[in-house]
C-alpha cells in the first residue's frame, strides 16, 4: 500500500492546478455556442453563460488537468439541467431566426451538405435526446477531443462515441426534414 | 476507426463549420465584464475578494479580446427587443420603489417600469442584452392577457417605418403588427421601450404605455 501511495504522489497530473480566471475569456464564444445548442434561445443562452461564469468565479477552482473548457462545459451543462429541473419543462426551441428553407432530399451521411445555416444546426442539436445532444455539443459544437468530452460528461469514451454518432445522424435527419423529432414550440 | 465513426465524421465537420462563426454577442461580454455579474453570496472575506479579483481579471481579458459588431439591421434589432418582451420571465416581479411608488425598483438608466397601470400588474422580470445593449423586461398581467415590457439601454434602436404613429400625452408611439404579435414602441430619455403581446391589441398596449385605463378595444 505504501508503494502505491508513493507512486500516486509522484504522478504529476495528481497535483491540482488552480483555474486561471484570466484564461476564461478565451472560451466565451465556444460556451455561448454550447449554450445556444442547449437552450435554443439566445436570451436564455446569454443568461446561462453569465450564470456559469458567475458560479465558476465565485470561489477558487482547482483542476487536475489542463482542461478548462471541459470543466466550464460541465458547469454550464449542470446549470442548464438545474434550470430545466426547476422549470419542469423543455426549453423553447428555434427562436434564433426564421426557419431556413431546407430541401427534403435525403443526404448521404458521409457527404452532408455544406453551408448549413448555424441556427438550423443549433436548433437540430437542441432537439436531440439529452445524451446525444450533450455528446454533439461537447465534440462538434465546443470542439473538445473525445477524451476531453468523455471526462467532461463523466462517461466512457466508447459510450460517448456511440452517442455522438447517433446524434450526428439525427441532426442530418432533422435538418434534411426526414427526422422524427419536432421541438416544442411556444 | 469504426464504420460508424467513418460515416459520421463528415457530419461532425459540417456541424463545426456551420457553427464556427457564432460568437458571443458584445452585450454578453459587457455583462461578464461587469463586477456586478457575480451573484450575491454569503460573506466570506477571502472568497469574495478572490471572486472580485477574478471578475476584474476576466473583464480585462474580455476587453482585450475585443467584440464582434453585430450586423446593422434596424428591424432585426427591434425584433430582438420584441423577442425579449415575449420571452418568459426568469425572476419574480420586482417590488415597488418606496421612494417613487409609481415605479418598480428595477430601472434601465433613468427609465423605470410602472408599478401598476390601472388593471395591469407586474408578474415577473428578466435581464438580457439586445443588440449589445443592456435590457430588462417585466411581464404584466392585464385584463385582456399578458404583455411584456422591455426597456433597452441607449443608444435607441431604429423603428421600422411601416408602423402606425400615435401621440398620447407626451409619448410618440409606434404601433406595429407582426404576425400574431401586437407591438408598441417608443423612446424615452434615449432608451427604447417596447410593449409586446400575443393576446392584447395594439390600442390597449398604447393605453398601457400612456398610463390610460384599459379600453377593451382592438
pLDDT in tens, A39-65: 877 777 888 888 888 888 877 778 777
Q: Is the pLDDT of residue B42 over 50?
A: no
In angstroms, what separates the C-alpha of B86 from chain A's closest C-alpha?
10
Q: How many CB pairs under 8 A join A and B?
A: 159
> Rounded to the nearest 10 degrees, what angle do helices A68-87 and A28-39 cross at?
30
- What pTM does this model have? 0.50
Angstrom distance (rounded) from CA B93 to CA B137: 10
Q: How many CB atoms lie within 10 A of CB B181?
A: 16
Q: Are A80 and A39 in contact (CB under 8 A)?
A: yes
Question: What is d(CA A125, CA B194) in angstroms, rounded to the nearest whole number?
Answer: 31
Quick check: A158 pLDDT over 50? yes
User: Which tops the pLDDT comparison, B51 or A86?
Assistant: A86
Q: Which 3 state secondary structure label does DSSP give A161?
A: helix
- To the nearest whole Å, the CA of B41 is away from the closest chain A CA by 8
Residue A102 has pLDDT above 80, yes or no: no
* Separation of alpha carbons B54 and B49, rounded Å: 9
The more confident residue out of A66 and A10 is A66
pLDDT of residue A98: 34
Helices (H) and strands (E) in chain A, counts: 8, 2
Please write the tens of the pLDDT for every residue from B123-163: 999 988 888 888 999 999 988 889 999 999 888 888 887 88
Closest CA to B139 of B185, B196, B218, B177: B196
Chain A residue nearest residue B43, CA to CA:
A58
Contact A139 B12 (CB under 8 A): yes
Is residue B155 reached through a cis peptide bond, with omega within 30 degrees of 0 on the bond before it?
yes
DSSP A85-153: HHHTSPPP---SSSPP--------TTSPPSS--HHHHHHHHHTS-HHHHHHHIIIIIS---HHHHHHHH
> Which chain B residues are closer than 8 Å to A42 by Cβ?
25, 83
Cβ–Cβ gap A46/B29 under 8 Å: no
Cell numbers of A137, please? 455539443
Give CA separation, A23 vs B55, B61, B94, in Å.
12, 8, 35
Q: How confident is the model at residue B17 (pLDDT cuts 50, 70, 90)?
A: confident
Regarding an ipTM greater than 0.90, the answer is no
CA distance A165 to chain B (A): 6
**How far is residue A107's CA from residue A176's CA, in Å, rounded to a whole number?**
7
Amino acid at each position: 500500500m505504501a508503494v502505491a501511495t508513493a507512486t500516486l504522489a509522484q504522478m504529476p497530473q495528481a497535483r491540482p492546478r488552480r483555474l486561471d480566471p484570466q484564461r476564461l475569456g478565451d472560451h466565451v464564444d465556444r460556451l455561448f455556442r454550447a449554450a445556444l445548442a442547449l437552450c435554443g434561445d439566445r436570451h436564455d443562452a446569454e443568461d446561462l453563460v453569465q450564470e456559469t461564469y458567475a458560479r465558476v468565479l465565485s470561489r477558487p477552482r482547482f483542476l487536475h488537468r489542463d482542461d478548462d473548457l471541459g470543466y466550464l462545459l460541465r458547469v454550464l451543462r449542470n446549470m442548464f439541467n438545474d434550470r430545466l429541473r426547476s422549470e419542469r419543462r423543455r426549453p423553447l426551441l428555434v427562436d434564433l431566426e426564421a426557419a431556413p428553407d431546407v430541401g427534403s432530399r435525403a443526404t448521404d451521411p458521409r457527404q452532408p451538405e455544406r453551408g448549413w445555416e448555424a441556427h438550423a444546426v443549433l436548433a437540430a442539436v437542441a432537439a436531440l435526446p439529452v445524451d446525444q445532444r450533450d455528446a454533439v455539443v461537447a465534440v462538434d459544437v465546443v470542439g473538445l477531443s473525445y477524451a476531453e468530452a468523455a471526462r467532461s460528461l463523466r462517461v466512457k469514451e466508447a459510450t460517448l462515441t456511440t452517442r455522438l454518432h447517433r446524434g450526428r445522424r439525427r441532426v442530418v435527419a432533422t435538418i434534411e426534414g426526414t427526422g422524427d423529432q419536432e421541438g416544442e414550440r411556444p | 476507426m469504426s464504420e460508424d465513426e467513418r460515416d459520421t465524421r463528415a457530419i461532425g465537420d459540417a456541424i463545426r463549420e456551420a457553427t464556427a462563426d457564432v460568437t458571443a454577442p458584445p452585450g454578453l461580454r459587457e455583462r461578464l465584464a461587469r463586477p456586478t455579474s457575480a451573484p450575491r453570496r454569503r460573506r466570506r472575506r477571502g472568497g469574495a475578494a478572490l471572486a472580485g479579483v477574478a471578475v476584474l481579471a476576466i473583464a480585462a481579458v474580455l476587453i482585450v479580446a475585443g467584440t464582434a459588431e453585430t450586423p446593422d439591421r434596424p428591424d432585426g434589432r427591434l425584433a430582438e427587443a420584441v423577442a425579449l418582451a415575449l420571452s418568459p420571465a426568469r425572476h419574480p416581479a420586482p417590488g415597488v420603489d418606496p421612494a417613487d411608488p409609481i415605479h418598480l425598483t428595477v430601472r434601465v438608466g433613468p427609465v423605470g417600469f410602472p408599478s401598476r397601470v390601472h388593471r395591469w400588474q407586474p408578474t415577473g422580470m428578466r435581464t438580457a442584452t439586445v443588440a449589445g445593449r443592456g435590457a430588462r423586461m417585466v411581464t404584466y398581467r392585464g385584463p385582456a392577457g399578458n404583455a411584456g415590457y422591455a426597456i433597452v439601454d441607449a443608444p435607441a434602436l431604429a423603428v421600422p417605418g411601416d408602423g402606425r404613429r400615435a401621440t398620447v400625452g407626451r409619448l410618440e408611439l409606434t404601433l406595429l403588427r407582426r404576425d400574431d404579435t401586437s407591438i408598441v414602441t417608443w423612446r424615452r430619455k434615449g432608451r427604447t421601450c417596447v410593449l409586446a403581446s400575443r393576446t392584447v391589441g395594439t390600442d390597449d398596449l398604447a393605453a398601457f404605455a400612456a398610463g390610460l385605463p384599459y379600453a377593451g378595444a382592438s
